[in-house]
Amino acid sequence: MTSLSVNVNKIAVLRNSRGGSSPDPVDAARTALDAGCAGITVHPRPDQRHIRVDDVHRIAAAIGAAEYNIEGNPFAPSRGAYPGLLALVEAVRPAQVTLVPDGDAQVTSDHGFDLGTDGARLRPLIRSFRDCGCRVSLFMDAGSPDIERAAEIGAHRIELYTGPYAHAFARGDASRELDACARSAERARASGLGVNAGHDLDQKNLGALRRAIPFLAEVSIGHALFGEAIYDGLAVTVRRYLEILAAD
């Protein structure tokens, strides 16, 4: 069965909009795990616009043996309290690190790596993350010509950027983007890579993606899940996602 990792960044956004300590992403992580999800994802950024460095450590201490996935840009230098992604991973030792080519100007991640440009720089960094005992996943566009190269430079998995698929699904014309995801996943598997997926996935579009990629290892979902949880409750919403992932 495909694992669900709940991204708790949105809880930190809400907390930071008011200041103080409530709502606490640690509480959200515990609730999601109690509802049955397999793991927790965080994406700390150097500007600490949502998840902060102290959150990363507190969540690690709170979730026990559950899988912890830390996302981030490996090229972003340390800044203020942010020590850099590698230093943070060395301190926390998550099960998985997902490398993402995002920058401060991006509201959210909106493209995968170009390994023709970044592959040589990524190779030694991937080795360093692997030395921390982490599974390493690279954020990649569906249809990228570089899927196979992700394995060559040492990654264990790719995470397919599913934003274009989700947007096409909302328009009612998802077949082309869904096919691109499925073909890229097959190429990754043939290269020995595991396949994760994430971005703009929700209860409406997730089932079709999982059926198209039956060997999908993990989905990381935050924005839509917490938007739906406003109305239905977090535990109920997590269970609904798990039902979708378990369906034939």
pLDDT band at 107 (very low <50, low <70, confident <90, very high): low
Which residues fall within 8 angstroms of residue 20, CB to CB, at 6 or more apart?
none
Question: pLDDT (tens digit, 9 = 90+) per residue, 1-58?
Answer: 899 999 999 999 999 999 999 999 999 999 999 999 999 999 999 998 899 999 999 9
Active site residue 71: yes
Q: What is the mean pLDDT of residues 176-185?
A: 98
Question: pLDDT (tens digit, 9 = 90+) per residue, 226-235?
Answer: 999 999 999 9
Euclidean distance between CA atoms 146 and 152, whole angstroms = 10
> Which residue range is the domain that position 156 belongs to?
3-246
Q: What is the mean pLDDT of residues 100-124?
A: 83
pLDDT at site 109: 61
Radius of gyration of the chain (CA): 17
Write down how long the chain is: 248
From the list 43, 156, 159, 228, the catalytic residue is 43
Active site residue 159: no
Q: Where is pLDDT greater, at 109 or 223?
A: 223
Q: Is the peptide bond before 44 cis (omega within 30 degrees of 0)?
A: no
Lookup: tokens for 34: 């109690």
From the list 67, 199, 218, 228, the catalytic residue is 199
The least confident of 45-49, 59-63, 192-196 is 45-49
From the list 71, 159, 177, 228, the catalytic residue is 71
Residue 68: give its domain's CATH number: 3.20.20.70
The domain tally of the chain equals 1
